[in-house]
Structures are given as C-alpha cells and as structure tokens.
Structure 1
Amino acid sequence: MQSLDDWKRFDDTVTIVEGDVGRINNINDTPLDGIAFPTSSYLVNPHIGAASVVFRRAGHGLDRFVSEQSFREGLANGAGWLPVGSAVVTPGFDTGVEKLIHCVGPSVGTVNCYELLSQTYTSVLNCAVNENLQCIAMVSISTGNLGIPCVKGAQVALRTLQKFLVTSHWEGKLAVVCNDTSVMQAFTDEKTVLLKGFNIVPPLPATEAAGRWFS
C-alpha cells in the first residue's frame, strides 16, 4: 500500500506540460540539467520526430560525438547500436543542459511492446539517477511514428514513473513535454486517473497484433 506521501511526491515530481523540447529550459523555474528523448537504435540523427529537434538544438557536436567509433564501441552490447528498451547518456553540447538521455522505444505490434516500453522509461530514469540529474524534460516514447496509441503509452509511462519513484530515492523533477494535442490530453487524463486510483495497479495493455497496424 502506497502512502499519502508517495501520492504527493508523484504529483509534485511529474509534470505534464505543453511545449517544444527544442526550446524548454526549465520546469517551474528550475533549470533543466537533462533532456530525454527517443531515437533510433543507431543513435545518429534520424531527421524525424523529437530526436531531430534535440539534435538540432544540440548542434554539430552531438552529430560528431555519436558517430565516433570510441562511443559506439563503448555501448553496452558492444555492437555499435542500442537495443530496444535501452538508454545511453551523452553530453548536452549546445542544448544548454548537462546531459542528453537517448533511448530506443518499441514499435506497436512488437512482441511484448508494452513491457519494452516500460523498460525504456525505467532505463531513462536509471540514467537520470546514475548521472545525478535533478530536473529532466522528456517526451512521450513510441507514441509518434512508432504507432503506440497515446492513451496506452501514457498509462505505461506514468505507472512506470510511479513505481520507480516509490522504489527509488530520486528527488528530482520530471516534465513530460507534449508537442501534440492528443499526447497532452492523454497524459493529463491518465495522470488524473492514476492519482484517483493510486493504489490500483492495472495490468499492462495487451499488445496489438502487428497486422492491424502494418497490413
């Protein structure tokens, strides 16, 4: 059973904001020290989605850094690419923040996609703790081009954040930055639902059949 303190901590820690991850620089006047965003497994600028916005904000230094052989060989799997569900940290370069957290989310129809989505959020949060980041902006993972429905994506994201905060000692702030009306509505609504049923732990959504989305 989670306490009123847990409820208040979650409500105070997790903020849903409408905005542009390419421009945001604070959460309630607290300066950002990290930005988390989904990208491709190969970590280079995909020129699409939130990753392209962050790469543009970071400048050419980030492009050069992620292309360096030493960086790619240093990835956890040693293969030069990042598996789905994983995250990695780079310097912030020209973004104005200390660190960037690159993560790779699943596409809809992937086997166990919602388990992998939860794992992706957990990987991001573990990076934040390991880097001692205290104020992070992040965008919704996999609800854009990868096709995960906004409501289900928000459910998984917020329940994962809730679980992480209850089981960790991280005391930072996190804003989910929404540049899309449907994503903003989904996260706002699902945070309200979560706070009303804070001790109710629903199962993860069922994975959609790939054929439904890609036929």
Structure 2
Amino acid sequence: MDTLTALPDGALASPAAVRNAESILKLLRAHLPKRGRVLEIAAGSGQHAVAFSTALPGLDWTPSDPSPDARASIAAWAAEADLDNLQPPLALDCMNDATWPDTVFDAVVCINMIHISPWTATEGLMALAQRVLPRPGGLLYLYGPYREAEVSLAPSNEAFDASLKARDPSWGLRDRDEVVALARSHGLTLTLRTEMPANNVSLLFRRT
C-alpha cells in the first residue's frame, strides 16, 4: 500500500504516483488522442491528474474519487498547478451508478484501483466505461499488478496480494483474463498489454 503524506494545504503526497508517473505518461502520450476528454477513475492524491494534464495540454482532464480526502487533495494540487484543462474532481463511485457522469469521454484512465477494491468495483468500472465511451475506438487504460497464467507471479506481488487480503478479504490481485473477459462483455477489447516497472502491467482496451 502507498504511504501518503499530508501537506499543510490539504494535499496528499504519494511516492508511488511520483515513481510511476513518467512511465505511465509515456504510454498515454502514445495512445491517447491529441485532443479530447479524459475521465480518471480513483485519482487518489491528484498528482497523476496534474502531471498528465500538464504534459498533455490538448486533453481536457476530469479526475474523480469517492473519497472526500482524495478530492480535497486533488483540488489542492490543481489549485497550485492552475491548469485550464484540469477540471474539478468528481465524487464518482464505481459501485454507485447514481454518481456516474452523463458526459461522453474519449478515454477512461484507472490506475491502481482494481486490486484495492472489491470485484464489484471492477464490474462497475466496465459498465461505466461502456456508458461514457460510446464511440468506437474509445480507450480504457488500466495500470496495476495482475495474476497472469503465462507469467510467474513475482514474490513481491505475492506478498502484496497477501497484505491486501489481510486488510480486506474482498481485495487482492485479479486474474488478468477475468478482467479481459469482463471488459469484452461491455464492448471493450484488449488491444495492448505492456509490462511496466515494479512488476506492474498496463492494459489498453478499445471500445468496439
């Protein structure tokens, strides 16, 4: 689990967000449209939202998180950055469709949520993506650790999985193929799997 540091202005500092931002940005820059609307799910501290909207000025970036503390942190980082293309955070909960926006987006980005939430959150995420990405080619980007049949699970990920389940039995690393099958049932096809630093994986899906 990431260790967050509370700053005086209400922002939260995430070491993990700093470590993985550049590698994620490299992939997003290659696959996101030059212009369009992006919805970030479980945006956490907000450091990714600021980093990505700064680096990708043609994209209108909307972060979201069900946690009031996270939204306060996102707002604090955003206030410091003062970016025209970074929207206020939404109180979006994947497990409550009443909180979902009606806006059409070109991409949905979800980093490190699937393993730190119940499976019902992933089910909600896929239904949400189907709803807000109605156009063919819309992108769903997922980042995090997975169990993969053809790849031996790293000892660090095995220990991480055990720690997650000890904290909440409904959490834990998901089977990648189960995530892919769920996405397919919502009109989203896996188009790219890329290994990332620290035994993480990026999965890119396109709306069909």
Q: Taking structure 1 as the reference length, what is the TM-score of the superposition?
A: 0.38
- Asked which structure has the greater RCO (Cα within 8 Å, sep 6+), the reply is 1
Structure with the bigger percentage of strand: 2
